[in-house]
Structure 1
Amino acid sequence: MTYRRTSKVEERMAQTRERIVLSALELVAQHGYGGTTMPLVAGLAEVSTGLLYQYFPSKTELFDEVFKQASQREIDACAAAAASESRPAERLGAIIRTFAHRALKRPKLAWALLAEPVAPQIDEDRLRFREPYRAIFVTVIEDGIESGEFRAQNPHTSAAAIVGALAEAMIGPLALGVLSKRAAQRVVDDILALCLAAVLNHDVKKKKADTGSAG
């Protein structure tokens, strides 16, 4: 007779699995992937190392799940920032500020998500998880083009360029660890100015300035 797990057993296993992942995520946020070991995760999750390996047969599988969950949190935060009813430029700024401030607030975790050397499986997910960010920026850029606030451009190309620039620009500051509030704000302001300059319709700004000076 085949053994079937009861709903209670399934629920308990799901809770244990989630506790393991959350424990690993917290350790990665403190020590990075390199400083997080399976025994450390087991201890924080209050399970035996043997049981941990029953849920995640390898460190790579566990860290890949950590990466997916942590990345999805960041994507959700950026999507929420993009969902306001404000002008496209303001929404673009809100996304960039959200991404950058959250990264600078937890630099070890952001470094792990963006740049820390990892197994090929996680590196592949890094590339795949850039797509939701691009999709968020595409929507905002399309709205900006339609309203005339942004110049005519290929929104997919511009979105990909912004995502790449945003990730690359964060690597240096994240490598320094926790920045002062002033230094962190300067980093965010510089990235935001660069991205806005790339997409804004400068002809509209010039016309408004000329109209103002003529008046």
Structure 2
Amino acid sequence: MSYKRSTLMQERMEQNRQSILQSARELIAQGGFKDAQIQAIAERAGVSSGLVYRYFDNKSEVLIEVLSEAIQHEIHILNTIASSEGLTAQQKLHKAVTTFVKRALNSPQLSYSLMFEPVDPIVEHERFRSKQLIKQTINEILAEGKVNGEFGFEDLNTVALCIVGSMTFVVIEPLNPSRNVMFDQNYKDYFVKQVADFCVQAVQLQDRN
């Protein structure tokens, strides 16, 4: 009986924790990090502020966890593309960049906050770690293209950094909520294709004849 109570308690604790994180994510998606205060998170989750502090020491810990979960989901998507059979390395790179940028544009406030909104150094460190994880997947695609003769470049790490920089920082302007600009789907599709085309063309093996 005590084992069953313990299991139920653990499940309840995990449900509370996930509810807190989901509430924080929703608040960030609506108004950015500034709206994701502990009291607001607690109210949205239907719990007390004290309960939030049982799971997280401060707001930064909540934000780091939200960022970590979000990037793990994106990494899973990118890894699936990287391991796809029947696609060339060029097609994988184009699809990876297209998917990442398109998903960012479809959740503008959340993406802007997670990637660019000013934060404290602890959260910024998590951002850096996230970009390193993205780079690992891009590395795999680039290395495959280099081996099979699709890509031509000198240094894998430098090129991977350039690609990750392109696919992340390129969305600062269209995502910036202060610009208060809405883009229609046709522009989004055009923008995404331009970014993906640029990344692929930057590493393609050039015909020297």
The answer, yes or no, to whether TM exceeds 0.5 is yes
8 Å contact kept, 1:39–1:49: yes
- The separation in 2 between residues aligned to 1:81 and 1:113, in whole angstroms, is 22
2:195 is the counterpart of 1:183: no
Larger radius of gyration: 1
2:201 is the counterpart of 1:197: yes
- The separation in 1 between residues aligned to 2:125 and 2:24, in whole angstroms, is 20
Corresponding residue of 2:161: 160
Corresponding residue of 2:74: 74
The residue correspondences of 1:12-91 to structure 2 (distance < 5 A) are 12-85=12-85, 86-91=87-92
**1:74-106 deviation line (CA, Å, top 9, x unaligned):** 221222222212000000011001100100000
Alpha carbons of 1:13 and 1:125: their partners in 2 closer, same or farther (altered >3 Å)? Answer: same
- The separation in 2 between residues aligned to 1:18 and 1:178, in whole angstroms, is 31
Corresponding residue of 2:145: 144
Q: Secondary structure at the residue paired with 2:36?
A: coil
Using the TM superposition, name which of 140-149 and 77-86 deviates more: 77-86
For these two proteins, the number of residue pairs brought into alignment is 201
Using the TM superposition, name which of 101-110 and 175-184 deviates more: 175-184
- The separation in 1 between residues aligned to 2:153 and 2:100, in whole angstroms, is 25
8 Å contact kept, 1:145–1:151: yes
8 Å contact kept, 1:104–1:179: no
Q: Secondary structure at the residue paired with 1:22?
A: helix
Corresponding residue of 1:10: 10
8 Å contact kept, 2:153–2:159: no
Question: Could you tell me how far 1:128 is from its partner in structure 2?
Answer: 1.0
Identity between Structure 1 and Structure 2 (%): 33
2:98 is the counterpart of 1:97: yes
- The separation in 2 between residues aligned to 1:196 and 1:178, in whole angstroms, is 27
Using the TM superposition, name which of 21-30 and 108-117 deviates more: 21-30
- The separation in 1 between residues aligned to 2:19 and 2:182, in whole angstroms, is 27
Q: Secondary structure at the residue paired with 1:202?
A: coil
8 Å contact kept, 2:101–2:171: yes
TM-score norm. by structure 1 comes to 0.87
In structure 1, the gaps of 5 or more residues are 208-215
Question: Could you tell me how far 1:113 is from its partner in structure 2?
Answer: 1.3
- The separation in 1 between residues aligned to 2:193 and 2:16, in whole angstroms, is 42
- The separation in 2 between residues aligned to 1:51 and 1:124, in whole angstroms, is 26
Q: Secondary structure at the residue paired with 1:129?
A: helix
Q: Secondary structure at the residue paired with 1:151?
A: coil
Q: Aligned letter for 1:78?
A: L
Q: Secondary structure at the residue paired with 1:188?
A: helix
